[in-house]
Structure 1
Amino acid sequence: MSTKTVAEKLGIKPGHAVHVINAPGDYAQLVGGLPEGAEVTATGPADAVHLFAEGKIELDASIKEAIDAVRPGGLLWVSYPKGGASDINRDSLWPTFTPYGWRPVRQISVDARWSALRFRPDGDVRGTGNRFT
């Protein structure tokens, strides 16, 4: 049985433009390599945007850039430190994105340090339940 790379879990596909914000170190290595033809870009619009935030101040400073960089139908992931090592967590991220009309739809583990939540525009989310609280 093969194990999916983090890039695969994030939904990054061959040829995707990936805009990364505040990534720690080598992003391609962190996600287990990018698919063929996928590349990290300095700006949007991008097929996938991956924002890393160590805390609320960094998140607040980068949230608009991240949302603005996502192509319609694109992927928006926000990574945050695991285990209460920060002033942000899974439950505090949702209200931060609510004023922008986005909500979480999926969570993954990136590595031993980072978790990630995927956000989608409210209008693109099926159902009305909140499975994260």
Structure 2
Amino acid sequence: MKKLVYEKMGIKPGMRTHFVNATEAAIEAIDLPELDIRKSLKGKFEYIHLFVTRQSQMHRGFPVMKKHLQEDGVLWVSWPKAGQQDTDLTLPAVIKIGYDFGLVESKCISIDSIWSALKFTFPRQGKVYNNSYGKLK
């Protein structure tokens, strides 16, 4: 049986969650289970999802989201697929920005016909991360 988008993302029911700039269509495509969705960014979260269309948005939003991410949490970043919504983001650019702010990527998926999504987590102690698009700082 085909996995639902939220299952591919590893989202579990009850996770403390915050969305930034999520479109209604993208949320519908993810087909979320019951979550503890918070409107304000206070405290730590298990799952944060940042939707961006420009590198400048990601540069501003990523470090703010990272501060609110639990040590074992996931920060998903979504951006429009190539050529859509006048984006200047590509997979290599998204990875580089994530690494610049000290998180590592582990999975890339398609949410729908518009949005790609990349999963970021804190690096595991002792593990070496080699990525041609970015270096941990």
TM-score range, shorter chain: 0.7 to 0.9
Identity of aligned residues (%): 30
The two structures have a TM-score, normalised by structure 1, of 0.83
Aligned pairs for 1:79-118 (under 5 A) are: 79-85=78-84, 86-118=87-119
Contact 1:19 1:69 in 2 (8 A): no
- The verdict on how the C-alpha distance between 1:57 and 1:132 changes in structure 2, with shifts beyond 3 A counting, is closer
For residues 54-101 of structure 1, give each alpha carbon's deviation from its aligned partner in whole angstroms, at most 9, with x where no partner exists: 111221221122111211100111001112431011101122122321
Aligned to 1:40: 37
- CA distance in 1: counterparts of 2:129 and 2:70, whole angstroms: 24
Aligned to 2:63: 64
- CA distance in 2: counterparts of 1:93 and 1:78, whole angstroms: 8
Contact 1:51 1:77 in 2 (8 A): yes
The two structures have a TM-score, normalised by structure 2, of 0.81
- CA distance in 2: counterparts of 1:98 and 1:117, whole angstroms: 12
Structure 2 regions of 5+ residues with no counterpart? Answer: none
Contact 2:72 2:122 in 1 (8 A): no
Aligned residues: 130
CA RMSD, Structure 1 to Structure 2 (Å): 2.3
**DSSP-derived class of the 2:74 partner:** strand
